[in-house]
Amino acid sequence: MKKRKLVLISVDAMVKEDFDYLLTKPFFKSLFEKGSWVKTLRTIYPSLTYPCHCSMISGCYPEKTGVYNNELDEYRSKLWHWWRKDIKVKTLVDAAKEAGCTVANVFWPCLAGDPNIDYNIAECWSMTPDESFLDVMRKCGATEQVVTDIISSNLHFIEKHQRQAPRCDEFVYACGRDLILKYNPDVLLMHPAHVDAKRHYNGVFNNHVTATLDLVCYWIEKIVWALEEIGELDNTDIVITSDHGQIDIKRTCNPNRLLEGAGLITYDAQGNIETMRAYVRGTGASAQVFVKDKTAYEETYRLFCEAQASGLYGIERCYKREEVKELIHLDGDFDFVLEGDGYTAFADGEGDTYFTPFDTSDYRTGRATHGHYPDKGPQPTMLLVGPDFKAGVQIERRSTLDTAPTLAKVLGLNLPDADGTVIEEILA
Ligand SMILES: [Zn+2]
């Protein structure tokens, strides 16, 4: 028997409602009719890209993966959790490698330097003007073979356009297609993010996002053509899923300004930070509070509880660390989590004002964002098509944590520590 193939595409911030439009397209409709649809997925908290993808690929909550923010904890850190070593649990990639599968990746978050990926094009970016995109790719685990065969011929999409949609997605899909044609990997992971970017810029539903769905459909069609070209289409499970939704935002709050007002952050005459007993890391529609000086714990908690009670700052709840662990299996080195009111986003900055205008250069502060408690707003969705899935089955709601255990089962892999469970109803 031929070894089963898997193509797993996470279309960042795609939601159930997007299927209304995608299903007007003959290609997507025909793919849809052959597969099973999990209409809505409950994601993890915070509903941020990196924590979500770590949970999707492992089947574990953030309390186990160890990834609970996109970025590292330090105040205003620009470094993200790019590296595989940041995930503390076994992933679907590890299980696939263990079973002798070849694995390829294009931009699935948090997999830089993963020794179990044969062909790795990790999501990461140049950090200095002198660092070329190829330097980054090599540093993050791309072999010279992958650089030569795959990345170089698609470099024009991205080299001068890092983090810019739609060019990054052109790059992701083109590399995915070339990986199929050149190496025919057993498992291919892809993470395009153009839909997410358009939502941050313009809001959750609008013509810009709809136009992006045209591209998504076309790009996925090219992946299917590639599988057809090498004769693997009928032998491949294609899973199109997403990590989180987004919610429309009306204003951006700077919770660090509250800490400054209470004297927990102070500045010298030049405006440089003098003392910082606590700080807030914005996570879009929520925020995480780190108390550096533990003697300020009660004062900081009281400050944010009072801010919540005032109704002035968009704080719906101030959770203690142990509360979010108990409630939704979120744990980390923070002390409190601030959940937004559904239309306020939280930035990382400090400064003179409590609120700032939209700033689309930061995912936290655009016209729509995420990071919110997972039951709010439009929900992520998942279509599973291929020899291991039934046609025409529709499931109302599952967890994103069920993705990895379900795919592990169809590939005959082992993920014993996953919190998610297998979606048995859709299995052929
Ligand atoms: Zn995302």
Centre of ligand 1 to C-alpha 84, Å, is: 17
DSSP E strands: which ranges in 132-259? 187-190, 236-241, 247-248, 251-253
Centre of ligand 1 to C-alpha 262, Å, is: 34
Contacts 24+ apart (CB under 8 A), 74-81: 75/276, 75/279, 75/281, 75/290, 76/348, 76/349, 80/50, 80/124, 81/50, 81/54, 81/109, 81/110
Q: What are the pLDDT digits (tens) for 164-217? A: 888 899 999 999 999 999 999 999 999 999 999 999 999 999 999 999 999 999
Centre of ligand 1 to C-alpha 4, Å, is: 28
Render each residue's pLDDT in the chain as its tens digit; 428 residues.
578 999 999 999 999 999 999 999 999 999 999 999 999 999 999 999 999 999 999 999 999 999 999 999 999 888 999 999 999 999 999 999 999 999 999 999 999 999 999 999 999 998 888 999 999 999 999 999 999 999 999 999 998 888 888 889 999 999 999 999 999 999 999 999 999 999 999 999 999 999 999 999 999 999 999 999 999 999 999 999 999 999 999 999 999 999 999 999 999 999 899 999 999 999 999 999 999 999 999 999 999 999 999 999 999 999 999 999 999 999 999 999 999 999 999 998 776 788 888 888 888 889 999 999 999 999 999 999 999 999 999 999 999 999 999 999 999 999 999 999 999 999 99
Q: Where are the alpha helices (DSSP H) in 12-146?
A: 18-22, 26-33, 49-58, 62-65, 92-98, 133-139, 144-146
Question: Of 278, 248, 246, 250, which is closest to residue 265 (Cα–Cα)?
Answer: 278
Centre of ligand 1 to C-alpha 273, Å, is: 32
Centre of ligand 1 to C-alpha 275, Å, is: 34
Q: How far apart are CA 426 and CA 157, in angstroms?
A: 37
Centre of ligand 1 to C-alpha 194, Å, is: 10
Question: What count of other Cβ atoms lies within 10 Å of the Cβ of residue 354?
Answer: 18
> 131-161 burial, b if ≥16 CB within 10 A, otherwise e?
eebeebbeebbbeeebeebbbeebbebbeee
Centre of ligand 1 to C-alpha 49, Å, is: 4
| Number of DSSP helices (H) and strands (E) in the chain, helices first | 15, 19
Centre of ligand 1 to C-alpha 200, Å, is: 10
Question: Of 145, 66, 134, which is closest to residue 104 (Cα–Cα)?
Answer: 145
Centre of ligand 1 to C-alpha 321, Å, is: 23
Residues with CB under 5 A from ligand 1 (ion): 12, 49, 196, 243
Centre of ligand 1 to C-alpha 119, Å, is: 23
How far, CA to CA in Å, does 421 sit from each of 202, 227, 397? 36, 29, 13
Centre of ligand 1 to C-alpha 196, Å, is: 6
Centre of ligand 1 to C-alpha 164, Å, is: 15
The pLDDT value given to residue 146: 98
Centre of ligand 1 to C-alpha 123, Å, is: 12
The pLDDT value given to residue 357: 82
The overall pTM is greater than 0.85: yes
Distance of CA 405 to the CA centre of its chain: 18
The pLDDT value given to residue 1: 59
Q: What are the pLDDT digits (tens) for 34-79? A: 999 999 999 999 999 999 999 999 999 999 999 999 999 999 888 9
Centre of ligand 1 to C-alpha 2, Å, is: 34
